[in-house]
A = this chain, B = another copy of it.
Amino acid sequence: MNDKLNELKRLTTEIYDLRMSVALLEWDQQVNMPPAGGGARAAQMSLLSRQAHELGVSEKLGQLLEDLKPLYGELPPDSDDYALLRNVYRSYEQQQKIPVEYVSEFTQTTGEAFGVWARAKEKNDFASFRPWLEKIFDMRRQYAGFFAPYDHIYDPLLDDFEPGMKTAEVLGVFKVLRDEQVELLRELGNRPQVDDSFLSGHCDTDGQWALCREAVALIGYDLNRGRIDHAEHPFTTNFCRDDVRITTHIYEDNMMSAIFSSLHEGGHAIYEQGVAKELDRTPLGTGASLAIHESQSRLWENLVGRSREFLGCFYPRIQERFPRRFGGVALNDFYRAVNRVEPSLIRVEADEATYNLHVMLRMELEIALLERRITVADLPEIWREKMSEYLGVEPRNDSQGVLQDVHWACGMIGYFPTYALGNLISAQIWEQAAADLPDLAAQIGKGELASLREWLTGKLYRHGAKYYPSELVRMITGGGIDPRPYLNYLNRKYRAVYS
């Protein structure tokens, strides 16, 4: 039996190594590759992805899993081996349900849809993208069908990004969230706006790079086991726990964008760097889910990075680096400026108080479309209405509205909720950390972030994907996903910023 288990581990490590090779090909494409190399690169990535997929659904793996069932029944549920088998059973069974022809048609469709979307966005021409989006939603309905019966058609889609999460649970949580966040937003809108004009204006790139490095080093991202590069769209990637890379985008006239983005990606990276060595290069050697991952990027970006304590320690470095721009700006004004609330048209530019509203809008539309309560043709209009209702702003055109980002064109339906769940979980974990580390705020004020990082590593990071997201949340907080801590955090913080 041990031989079979070792053979399984060998096979899953091979799959892991293939996927990590694809990750490097992709990182290079976004960071280094001359554009002309794109054709060959796509072929290389598709080849290795196919090999990984084929191994993951291979008869050989199926037979090993079958043979290992008696062992699986005997292993202690908190052992690494049990978790590995549980993970592999789950993904094997899921993959088995998806016909090969479907995968290839869906890849083909989204591949072409991406180009159509990019042109449609450029030309503000939703009509040209509409048939593609209809096909993508049709195919996602078909996909959900492979997993029937289900409680909700959205469940199988959501489950791909957030293992074990149910639509009903998310909707319940979001209902509370939406009402209170809309209310908070109305209230803040009636108070005098915060001045953040001094945040715009030229800051040289070298200085920005230096500050980004200092910021991520301060929170404990280990640059000896990583690196930071420039990319059009910032992301984090890893090829093993000892090679976890982040990227950022420098804007010469908006310095804080790169710094907060670096803290965000740095948060993702610290999580990956903290996974236990024993789990490295196994299917468990990575973050547990998108929402749990996002809870850590948002925790380091916002709960730490946008806090008065952290800025009390880091803002002097900014002033030192750019004395002419910030020498005369007081800490409190700076703190309020980077926490200014202003409804915007797109999630990626949203502040903490409005961010979740973008997410909820998207999830509601996705569900309504899947349930055929609305049609793709209705989208532009409904988008505008909901934006107005939740955020009080309306896109001037479809490029700013329904065409604003790439998720749907890539077929990523069911992805958005993880962004908001990440926020909620970040505040739940934060409350627990603050309870366990009584002088947390004081430590942050001194730029001492090791205790927090070690606490997170012990509670969360080291486990990798050994436990399901809901198990992790329960292990850390003692309960399920709960919007209360995040709402408390928002209400307290932003009523003070706007007092």
Contacts and interface: CB of A to CB of B under 8 A. Distances in A.
Contacts of A25: 21, 24
Contacts of A28: 24, 28
Tallying the copies of this chain within the complex gives 2
B51 A243 contact: no
A36 B39 CA distance: 31
Interface stretch (A42-50, A207-215, A326-334, A455-463): A42-50
Interface string A319-348: 000000000000000000000000000000
A227 interface: yes
A280 interface: yes
A47 B44 CA distance: 15
A20 B36 contact: no
Given A17-B43, A34-B227, A40-B240, 11 more contacts: A21-B47, A21-B48, A28-B28, A33-B243, A34-B224, A34-B242, A36-B224, A40-B281, A44-B239, A48-B48, A51-B51
Interface residues of A, number: 34
A495 B33 CA distance: 45
Interface string A5-30: 00000000110011011001100100
Contacts of A48: 18, 21, 48
Contacts of A20: 40, 44
A226 interface: yes
Closest 7 CB pairs of A and B: A37-B243, A40-B240, A36-B242, A36-B225, A17-B44, A21-B44, A17-B47
A41 interface: yes
A32 interface: yes
B40 A239 contact: yes
Contacts of A224: 34-36
Contacts of A39: 240, 242
A18 B47 contact: yes
B281 A37 contact: no
A280 B239 contact: no
24 contacts: A13-B43, A14-B47, A17-B40, A17-B44, A17-B47, A20-B44, A24-B24, A24-B28, A34-B224, A35-B224, A36-B224, A36-B243, A37-B240, A37-B243, A39-B240, A39-B242, A40-B239, A40-B242, A40-B243, A40-B280, A41-B240, A41-B243, A43-B281, A44-B239
A277 to B, nearest CB: 11
Interface string A214-233: 00000000011111000000
Contact of A239 (B37, B227, B242, B243): B37
B41 A239 contact: yes
Contacts of A225: 34, 36-37
A243 to B, nearest CB: 3
A35 to B, nearest CB: 8
A360 to B, nearest CB: 39
A74 B272 CA distance: 57
Nearest to A241: B40
Among A25, A40, A224, the most chain B Cβ lie within 10 Å of the Cβ of A40
A265 to B, nearest CB: 16
Contacts of A280: 40
A113 B237 CA distance: 33
A57 B444 CA distance: 59
A226 B34 contact: yes
A491 to B, nearest CB: 42
A23 to B, nearest CB: 10
